[in-house]
Amino acid sequence: KNQVEQSPQSLIILEGKNCTLQCNYTVSPFSNLRWYKQDTGRGPVSLTIMTFSENTKSNGRYTATLDADTKQSSLHITASQLSDSASYICVVSAGDFGNEKLTFGTGTRLTIIP
């Protein structure tokens, strides 16, 4: 069964600090991995997408890494801002082009305090 596990479940950090969120997956056949940001009361919004051959991808202050051998990904947030308070969801896609199935993690709830 395809599974995506995220840690920690929740995290509280001071504004301006860095943090790293973790994602482990057992999904086959792997197609790509996405990180989504979900603000309270809103739908998820994509931050990054990584394919098998990509190790690192950045989107502003967000940097995602992927280790396809160990089936682990991380999302690093630099110089956190209050607007970073949200849930961050790791999503892994499996299957062939045009027939992908997504498996969602339960998310990490990040709270930035001033």
Partner 1 sequence: DAEITQSPRHKITETGRQVTLACHQTWNHNNMFWYRQDLGHGLRLIHYSYGVHDTNKGEVSDGYSVSRSNTEDLPLTLESAASSQTSVYFCASSRTGNEQFFGPGTRLTVL
| Minimum distance, C-beta of residue 41 to partner 1, in the bound complex (Å) | 7
Residue closest to 93 by CA, chosen among 51, 45, 48, 37: 51
Whether the Cβ atoms of residue 48 and residue 55 lie closer than 8 Å to each other: no
Q: Contacting partner 1 (CB under 8 A), which of 44, 50, 65, 88?
A: 44
Residue 70 exposure: Cα atoms within 13 Å on the Cβ side: 10
| Minimum distance, C-beta of residue 65 to partner 1, in the bound complex (Å) | 19
Question: Residue 79 carries which side chain, given as an amino acid letter?
Answer: A
Task: Confirm or reject binding of residue 4 to partner 1 (CB under 8 A).
Answer: yes
Residues binding partner 1 (CB under 8 A)? 4, 34, 41-46, 49, 89, 97-98, 100-107
